[in-house]
Amino acid sequence: MNILGVPILTFLVFFPVAGMVVILFLPGSRTKAIKLAANIFTGLEFGATLLLLTRFDAASGDMQLVERLPWIKAIRAQYLLGVDGISLLLVLLTSLLTFIATLSSWQAVQKRLKEYYVFMLLLETSMIGVFLALDMLLFYVFWEVVLVPMYFLIGIWGGERRLYAAIKFFLYSLFGSVAMLVGILVLRSQHQTFDLTAMVAAGSVIPAALQGWVFLAFFLGFAIKVPMVPFHTWLPDAHVEAPTAGSVLLAGVLLKMGAYGFLRFSLPLLPEAARRYAPVLVVLALVAIVYGALVSLMQKDMKKLIAYSSVSHMGFVILGLFVLTPMAAKGAVLQMVNHGISTGALFLVVGVLYERRHTRLISEFGGLSSRMPVYAAVFLVMTMSSIGLPGLNGFIGEFMILMGTFPVSWLWTAVAATGIVLGAGYMLWLYQRVMFGKLSTPANESLKDLTFRELATFLPLVVLAFWIGIFPKPFLAVIDKPVEKIIRIVNPAHFEAPR
């Protein structure tokens, strides 16, 4: 399938670059034109990802719409793109969240617009590239390029301590990435190819001891991205200092890259090591779930609270991946999408208040529901989605993860379930402190409710939250086969044992 004569996946990756070029040539004084162009390009990109659905075959667990060109002949690296159900959902999430983030920046970003939208589009290209690349070197290239625009988004348009947060984010991520690079080097020397599908097809040719080291290298790269405890310390800083749109993409997409990496590379390529170290990762995930939730309870800053809640929620995703059952892994993939929707929306929710009051301290607010009823409704839906209320998206993902975990260990399930209880605690308490009670601060008297544009940014997320919550079947249908394929490689015993 082609768009404008370009194969669709290539089009999806590089269309934002076209937007970058257009914006670069617009004069800096034409602010409206720049904003408009950025929104049109991210909107069209989202439209193009929807087109992908028409050609996607959910019944197949293989890579589809594969594009293959020689890239670096000397080392047999290829320009190799492809999509399966897992990538499909994440690409859709990426293009939707980028569009929403761009739209939400219309008023929020006032300085250096041109650079802002250029970095935004560069970020979109690299994020989509990460989810579509099937050549490990190409994947690494996109993976690294993601860091550069995000560094600038935090560093230029961020809050008070933006310089510190930006370099901390970049350094942490880069240390993880170079560890991963060493892992890629070893994999490549064992397989003599960068082609992911060929590596998976070749089966486990790597001796178990070496697998352990490569697994560790990949672990560093992905665990810092997720972030897993104890590599999470960059996250609160980056989230608190990043502009709203940056936080949305950071939480909504960048964190998913780490979980995606585990699922796409660590599990199928290093199955023996993955089996061996799975309990370690599960324990780290459980620590993240409980610790993240406890720390969230203590936060005074709304953004920091949601940042730590991400640590807890991503712990669920990692738990789901590493109990190595199809049910939990499917729940984990769905939970990646759910977290993108609910946490992305919650950062937008905080952004709305920050734009109006220039503070994010919970103590500055209270009783807002009387002044901003529509806002209160949106906030409530997203709070419930984050908690995992049945009927909303968060419930399905968490429930599947717990259900998939239970046959493996009731103890793990019990610990993870406390995370949900604590999650309900900190989110409801946040909602109560901000929205209910008396309107005590005079500055809040004149707060305006959501504008039409703001409502438009929330609407798709609210719709999706209900859709996945009530009728998740179409979403589960696309990930069913590819996830099962991966779990079959890493944990064949599960399929042999009598149910």
| Binding residues for another protein (CB under 8 A) | 71-75, 115, 137, 140-141, 144-145, 147-148, 151-152, 155-156, 162-163, 166-167, 170-171, 174-175, 177-179, 181-182, 185-186, 188-189
Q: Hey, which residues does 80 pair with through a beta bridge?
A: 68
Closest approach of another protein to the CB of residue 462, in Å: 35
For the chain, helix, strand, coil in percent to 5 are 75, 5, 20
Nearer to another protein by Cβ, of 18 and 141: the residue is 141
101 in Cβ contact with 251 (< 8 Å): no
Closest approach of another protein to the CB of residue 181, in Å: 5
Instruction: Kindly state the helix (H) or strand (E) to which residue 38 belongs, with its residue range.
Output: helix 31-54
Three-state DSSP at 480 gives helix
Amino acid at 231: F
Nearer to another protein by Cβ, of 166 and 387: the residue is 166
Nearer to another protein by Cβ, of 78 and 247: the residue is 78
Nearer to another protein by Cβ, of 180 and 487: the residue is 180
Closest approach of another protein to the CB of residue 95, in Å: 21
d(CA 177, CA 181): 6
Closest approach of another protein to the CB of residue 211, in Å: 14
Nearer to another protein by Cβ, of 146 and 384: the residue is 146
Closest approach of another protein to the CB of residue 171, in Å: 6
Nearer to another protein by Cβ, of 71 and 106: the residue is 71
Q: Which of 312, 231, 323 is nearest to 277 (CA)?
A: 323
Closest approach of another protein to the CB of residue 16, in Å: 15
Closest approach of another protein to the CB of residue 228, in Å: 19
Nearer to another protein by Cβ, of 217 and 483: the residue is 217
Nearer to another protein by Cβ, of 178 and 380: the residue is 178
What Cα–Cα distance (Å) separates residue 145 from each residue in 77, 129, 220, 277, 339? 18, 10, 18, 29, 23
What Cα–Cα distance (Å) separates residue 72 from each residue in 138, 180, 193, 283? 10, 20, 11, 41
Listed in sequence order, the residues at least 6 apart from 469 whose beta carbon sits closer than 8 Å to its beta carbon are: 385, 390, 391, 392, 393, 394, 395, 396
Three-state DSSP at 437 gives coil
Nearer to another protein by Cβ, of 192 and 363: the residue is 192
Closest approach of another protein to the CB of residue 241, in Å: 12
Three-state DSSP at 420 gives helix
- φ and ψ at 323, to 5 degrees? -80, -10
Nearer to another protein by Cβ, of 177 and 386: the residue is 177
Supply 450's token pair.
């959501």
Nearer to another protein by Cβ, of 186 and 380: the residue is 186
Angle 39-22-242 from CA coordinates, rounded to 5°: 50
Closest approach of another protein to the CB of residue 74, in Å: 5
Place of tokens 């370099």: 167
Closest approach of another protein to the CB of residue 150, in Å: 13
Supply 160's token pair.
């008070």
Nearer to another protein by Cβ, of 99 and 140: the residue is 140
333 in Cβ contact with 89 (< 8 Å): yes
d(CA 6, CA 262): 31
Closest approach of another protein to the CB of residue 318, in Å: 24
Cα of 125 vs its chain's centroid, Å: 15
What Cα–Cα distance (Å) separates residue 401 from each residue in 106, 319, 481? 38, 8, 17
Rg of the chain over CA atoms, in angstroms?
22
Q: Which of 155, 145, 156 is nearest to 123 (CA)?
A: 145
Closest approach of another protein to the CB of residue 27, in Å: 13
Cα of 349 vs its chain's centroid, Å: 18
